[in-house]
């Protein structure tokens, strides 16, 4: 995997890929940034990704997946994405900083356009409004939420609590201090102090997380 642009977003992404066992070639135009990542990625090089010859010298065309994580310099982001398409990379992920920027990338043919700031802003809106500890929108108005269980769920088997029939949400997993995360079954009994992971329509899971 190649990550171009090792700013805050690109750096976090590259390090997480490494943690998961993926080899990463990091490219950035800034010498200090390259130095800071030196022994942390499989390879790190200082280079300008808007130059086709440079990308070829670095064997970028041999990689199937490349992430363009340049944010501030939209021109460099678009030029790099366009060159990667020209080089035949089959799986390009590019960060967009605005809807207009994202539209240009989509029109160019970039396979995955991502909006980290916008997505995080939307996600945090759900967290600050409700009592959720985490909120992940899966798509089409469906979400996964980590939250404390309401009193009505504590001490009785899930089958009897009838959460799905009454509230339209499913308790998929739970966390118990000292035991970690487990899947739920119909006879799981949620205890005070547990944390639950619920799935359902966005409004339903949000409403359920507000129950105490």
Q: Rule CB under 6 A: which residues touch ligand ADP? A: 4-10, 27-30, 33, 48-50, 70-73, 76
Closer of 120 and 191 to ligand ADP (Cβ): 120
Closer of 8 and 166 to ligand ADP (Cβ): 8
The span from the CA of 111 to the CA of 81, in Å, is 10
Q: How near is the Cβ of 96 to ligand ADP at its closest, in Å?
A: 12
* Sheet architecture: strand order including 91-95: 43-46, 25-28, 2-4, 65-68, 91-95, 112-114
Q: Three-class SS of residue 119?
A: helix
The residue of the chain with the least Cβ separation from ligand ADP equals: 7
Q: How near is the Cβ of 20 to ligand ADP at its closest, in Å?
A: 19
Closer of 4 and 143 to ligand ADP (Cβ): 4
Closer of 81 and 147 to ligand ADP (Cβ): 81
Q: Sign of torsion, CA 149 151 155 159?
A: negative
Q: Helix 74-86 crosses helix 99-108 at what angle (to 10 degrees)? A: 20
Q: How near is the Cβ of 66 to ligand ADP at its closest, in Å?
A: 12
């Amino acid at each position: 995997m190649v990550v171009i642009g090792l700013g805050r977003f690109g750096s976090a992404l590259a390090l997480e890929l490494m943690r998961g066992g993926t080899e990463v070639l990091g490219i950035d135009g800034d010498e200090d940034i390259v130095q800071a990542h030196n022994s942390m990625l499989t390879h790190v090089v200082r280079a300008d990704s808007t130059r086709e010859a440079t990308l070829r010298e670095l064997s970028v065309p041999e990689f199937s997946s490349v992430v363009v994580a340049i944010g501030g310099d939209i021109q460099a982001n678009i030029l790099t994405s366009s060159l990667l398409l020209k080089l035949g990379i089959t799986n390009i992920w590019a960060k967009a900083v605005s809807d207009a920027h994202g539209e240009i990338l989509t029109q160019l043919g970039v396979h995955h356009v991502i909006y980290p700031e916008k997505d995080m802003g939307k996600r945090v809106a759900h967290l600050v409004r409700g009592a959720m500890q985490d909120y992940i929108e899966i798509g089409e108005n469906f979400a996964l939420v980590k939250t404390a269980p309401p009193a009505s769920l504590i001490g009785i088997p899930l089958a009897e609590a009838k959460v799905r029939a009454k509230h339209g949400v499913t308790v998929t997993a739970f966390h118990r201090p000292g035991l970690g995360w487990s899947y739920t079954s119909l006879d799981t009994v949620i205890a005070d102090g547990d944390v639950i992971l619920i799935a359902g329509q966005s409004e339903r899971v949000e409403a359920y997380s507000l129950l105490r």
